[in-house]
């Protein structure tokens, strides 16, 4: 599964929400996926905000679903379905810098 991470300079600037919104639009409208889902630790409030801001609805909590360095975490499950109405996100292209994983 792909993972995401935002550098310290991008935190709070809407970078994750903009990237997620762009990827979601591409996957649903260009590629033709019907349903997209993501999960994150319930302790990661920033990821929850990015998912919600990008139109992903919280569907539930998967208890003790992931093992992190500090132990087991409950995970929120969010989903977006083609046709869901999402609030538009206005992104400034200069906000985003893409780094490739090595």
As a whole number of angstroms, the distance between CA 77 and CA 97 comes to 27
73 has pLDDT over 90: yes
Q: pTM for the full model?
A: 0.76
State pLDDT tens for residues 8-18: 545 555 778 88
Predicted local confidence at residue 87, as pLDDT: 72
Token couple for 90: 């206005």
Q: Are 12 and 94 in contact (CB under 8 A)?
A: no
What structural domains and CATH numbers belong to the chain? Answer: 10-95 (3.40.630.30)
Report yes or no: 22 and 36 within 8 Å, Cβ to Cβ. no
Sequence-separated (6 or more) residues with CB below 8 Å from residue 38 = 20, 51, 56, 77, 78, 79
The pLDDT of residue 94 is above 90: no
């Amino acid at each position: 599964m792909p993972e995401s991470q935002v550098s310290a300079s991008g935190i709070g600037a809407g970078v994750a929400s903009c990237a997620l919104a762009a990827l979601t639009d591409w996957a649903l409208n260009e590629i033709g996926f019907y349903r997209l889902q993501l999960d994150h630790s319930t302790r990661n409030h920033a990821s929850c905000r990015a998912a919600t801001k990008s139109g992903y609805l919280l569907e539930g909590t998967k208890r003790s679903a992931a093992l992190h360095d500090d132990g087991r975490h409950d995970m929120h499950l969010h989903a977006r379905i083609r046709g869901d109405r999402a609030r538009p996100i206005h992104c400034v292209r200069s906000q985003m810098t893409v780094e490739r994983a090595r």
